[in-house]
Amino acid sequence: MSRSPSFSVKSEFSPKLDPESLQQWVVAFCIIRFDLEQGQLIEECYPPGCLTQDEELEIAFSSFPDSVSQHQNRSSIHDCIFFFRFRRRERLQMDNVASTEITESNKKLPTNSPDVKPPRSSKSNNISDTSRYMYGYVFNRQRHDERLKRGGEQKSVVILSHSPFSSVFRPLLQIMGPLYFDIGRKALEHIAAYVSMWPCPVPGKLMELPIGNAALKVNLPPAHSLPSESGMLFEESASSMAPFLPNNQSVPQGLFHDSDLFGIFRGLLLQLWVLWELLLIGEPILIIAPTPPQCSEAVAGLVSLVAPLLCSVDFRPYFTIHDPEFAQLNSLHEGDTFPPMILGVTNLFFLKSLRNMPHVVSVGSPAPNTNRLPFSSRSSTGRLSGRPEGFGLQQLSLKRFSPSNLLNAVKLRRDGPLCLMTEHKEAIWSTYAATTKPDTSILNRLIDAGMSPRVEESMSVVNNEILRRHFLELTTNFLAPFGPYFKTRTPSEGSSPFVDPPPLVPYNDNEFLASLSARGPGKFLSKRMRSNWLDLYRRFLQGPNFTPWFQRRRTVAEQEQDRLWKQARINTDIHQLISKMSELEVVDSFNAIERHILGETQLQQSGSDGTDSTDSAATCQKLKRDLQAVFNVLPKDVQQLLLLNPERAALLKGSSENKNLPGTPPIQIGSPTSPR
């Protein structure tokens, strides 16, 4: 874990809390104590009154390690950091109604068409009204003291947010957790006040966030990776519209780009390509680890594998039996389909209650305080590849392929996940046959740091960059065939930008698959996938990730095309354009410009386009001048006919009143010059 920045409370400077600004980053700060008689209790919640009673209960249960899974640690103080995600209770009924409406509307559409446009979002939306999920970032301290009951006590400092900004809240907890245990409630007030002074979150950017005498320099995940139901509404750039590799590799391309992918999956490196496919197609996965930090890190790492794809699978970094949705999952019988979700758990009871989960992954070490073993000596997986390409990692010990290890792997697969009840092993149990072959050239580039923790931490950074770059390239190439459906077009030279832009290329599942089958997946994927690669695309199209991602990309593409045509209208010399038009084309241009003015006016009034009001007003003025210019060249009888409409007459009158504005040519109603 990286060293936490220093922080000191300055008595001469006491910043004031701005609750509205705080909500942009944090919902609340909570202090939760484990009481032997009453269980988990929320001692402090700052600001107060922002959580329901059900939310407080769920947060309290999720903020402590499972007693069943927690191994004894005889050190006097043991700190750990992890995070969880839960569905907001008061939103559940409304979400069900909304999802039912969406399902019913989708039934009316062809199953092969994902072109369902979501409503345009407003920046003024209240976050608490739109968020379906909340994230809890936990600093847990266990203090062992033989004088206390059961030999110790537990407390957790929790940051609650609607945003999956682990790169912000993990280092913030490293400051806030120890500070609270030093000075108490005053720490919550000071940290909250400093956070409320932060600027608005800017996704995909490096931000410097002051906190006392320190500053957090963090990269936020890009807007296209943030779940639409997070409540944080950001304008997505056109650069995220089409699936191309970014030029700047230091910029994060997905959620949890700071997760220790190499460290947590070190014993299962050969299986990362299987896990990538399972997440890509939205298969349910149960991840079990000895501790909450390990299981939450594994879930975060797994989600980060599919960047830059929007992950629409419900992921729970730390899931407990107290979660209200556990009862629903526990009631599923053999043959029932599990919903697409990733569950990170530590309680071994889940191995029995969710025994029908199709994919189980076991990660982490049961002794978190001991140094990790070199990954050449880690335990084998429960899968048997039977193919040589899985054994290209040079650092893997040859003992791994001895007859005894082969028998152990067979036994591991035969016994199934329940063998973890007696001994923890790193393994994966799944009947899924992967299409993608492990890239041994990538594995051979990874560095084995040995036993030195300091060297190991720095080498993990290098290894994480290698792995993340590869899977970013893999996902980007997988999504590349969809690029033509997001391609925008601008007005051709000499054509009118006032007509409606052409629609994007229409999409159809069957036509896409037929076209892809004919031309192939491309050179990059051809070398890394088996002959049944088209089946992976079919499963992706049917899975939960495709439609939300495709719809958002189409929406961004349409908005970008609208922006380009709007800019073309602003740059157009209307006099030069209409000089080459027939009288009928001039009338059509008049109607089109009038329609655009009304549209801009409505957007100004609603404020739902997310553009600057000054720019929008300037656009309206330009269009009104163009309308007046077109009106002036129309025949007098056509002018008189148009002026019979009172609203149009008022619009033209308003245009003529702007004739003295800077840059506005003098124009008059009733002095037409008809085109020849």
In this structure, the answer to whether residues 555 and 597 fall within a common structural domain is: no
- What DSSP string describes 353-400? HTTT-S-EEE-S-S-TTSPPPPGGGSPPPS----SGGGG--TTS-GGG
Inform me whether the pLDDT recorded for 666 exceeds 50.
no
In this structure, the answer to whether residues 39 and 170 fall within a common structural domain is: yes
Q: How confident is the model at residue 321 (pLDDT cuts 50, 70, 90)?
A: very high
Pick from 184-198, 240-254, 611-625 the range whose average pLDDT is largest: 184-198
Strand positions, DSSP E, 149-303: 152-161, 206-211, 214-219, 285-288
Q: How confident is the model at residue 18 (pLDDT cuts 50, 70, 90)?
A: confident
Inform me whether the pLDDT recorded for 493 exceeds 90.
no
CA dihedral angle for residue 544, residue 548, residue 551, residue 557, rounded to 10 degrees: -120
In a domain, 207, yes or no: yes
In this structure, the answer to whether residues 214 and 303 fall within a common structural domain is: no
In this structure, the answer to whether residues 353 and 416 fall within a common structural domain is: yes
Cβ count within 10 A of residue 279: 25
Residue pair 430/223 in contact by the 8 Å Cβ criterion: no
In a domain, 382, yes or no: no
Residue pair 302/255 in contact by the 8 Å Cβ criterion: no
| Beta bridge partners of residue 30, listed in sequence order | 45, 158
Inform me whether the pLDDT recorded for 2 exceeds 60.
no
CA distances in angstroms from 60 to 47, 343, 487, listed in the order given: 17, 18, 48
Q: Which of 507, 540, 572 lies at the terminal end of a domain, its last residue?
A: 572
State pLDDT tens for residues 161-211: 999 999 999 999 999 999 999 999 999 999 999 999 999 999 988 999 999
* pLDDT value for 392: 36
The amino acid occupying position 370 is T
In a domain, 665, yes or no: no
Cβ count within 10 A of residue 322: 13
Inform me whether the pLDDT recorded for 374 exceeds 50.
no
- Range of lowest pLDDT (93-102, 543-552, 598-607): 93-102
* pLDDT value for 7: 55
Inform me whether the pLDDT recorded for 10 exceeds 70.
no
Q: Find the domain containing 609 and state its range.
A: 573-654
Inform me whether the pLDDT recorded for 57 exceeds 80.
yes
Tokens representing residue 372 in the block? 């990790």
In this structure, the answer to whether residues 142 and 27 fall within a common structural domain is: yes
Inform me whether the pLDDT recorded for 99 exceeds 50.
no
In a domain, 374, yes or no: no
In a domain, 327, yes or no: yes
Q: How many helices (H) and strands (E) does the chain have?
A: 23, 12
* pLDDT value for 308: 93
| Better-scored residue on pLDDT, 500 or 1 | 500
In a domain, 663, yes or no: no
Q: How confident is the model at residue 245 (pLDDT cuts 50, 70, 90)?
A: low
Burial of 146 (0-12, 13-18, 19+ CB in 10 A): exposed
- CA dist 240 and 565 (Å) reads 19
In this structure, the answer to whether residues 162 and 28 fall within a common structural domain is: yes
* pLDDT value for 50: 86
In this structure, the answer to whether residues 163 and 274 fall within a common structural domain is: no
Whose tokens are 């409409």? That residue is 645
Q: Which of 513, 548, 572 lies at the terminal end of a domain, its last residue?
A: 572
Inform me whether the pLDDT recorded for 96 exceeds 80.
no
* pLDDT value for 611: 54
Inform me whether the pLDDT recorded for 132 exceeds 90.
no
In this structure, the answer to whether residues 409 and 500 fall within a common structural domain is: no
Inform me whether the pLDDT recorded for 113 exceeds 80.
no
Inform me whether the pLDDT recorded for 233 exceeds 70.
no
- Range of lowest pLDDT (406-420, 490-504, 539-553): 406-420
In this structure, the answer to whether residues 295 and 162 fall within a common structural domain is: no
- Is pTM, for the whole model, over 0.85? no
In this structure, the answer to whether residues 449 and 561 fall within a common structural domain is: no
Mean pLDDT (the chain, rounded):
80
Region 67-72: mean pLDDT is 49
Inform me whether the pLDDT recorded for 410 exceeds 70.
yes
Inform me whether the pLDDT recorded for 30 exceeds 90.
yes
* pLDDT value for 220: 93
| Better-scored residue on pLDDT, 405 or 537 | 537
Inform me whether the pLDDT recorded for 61 exceeds 80.
yes
* pLDDT value for 158: 97
Cis preceding-peptide flag for 48 (omega within 30 of 0):
no
* pLDDT value for 667: 34
Region 564-591: mean pLDDT is 90
In this structure, the answer to whether residues 562 and 577 fall within a common structural domain is: no
CA dihedral angle for residue 636, residue 641, residue 647, residue 648, rounded to 10 degrees: -40
Q: What is the CATH number of the domain that holds 324?
A: 3.40.50
Q: Which of 200, 226, 241 lies at the terminal end of a domain, its last residue?
A: 241
Supply the DSSP symbol for 23: T
- What DSSP string describes 482-523? GGGGG----PPTTS-TTSPPPPPPP--HHHHHHHHHHH-S-H
Region 43-51: mean pLDDT is 89
* pLDDT value for 613: 63
Tokens representing residue 8 in the block? 């000191």
State pLDDT tens for residues 586-612: 999 999 998 998 888 887 777 654 555
* pLDDT value for 243: 47
Supply the DSSP symbol for 416: -
Region 621-642: mean pLDDT is 89
| Better-scored residue on pLDDT, 423 or 109 | 423
Inform me whether the pLDDT recorded for 388 exceeds 60.
no
Choose among 173, 136, 152, 125: nearest CA to 24.
125
In a domain, 45, yes or no: yes
What's the structural domain count of the chain?
4
Region 4-26: mean pLDDT is 71
Q: How confident is the model at residue 413 (pLDDT cuts 50, 70, 90)?
A: confident
| Better-scored residue on pLDDT, 632 or 103 | 632
In this structure, the answer to whether residues 470 and 579 fall within a common structural domain is: no
In a domain, 24, yes or no: yes
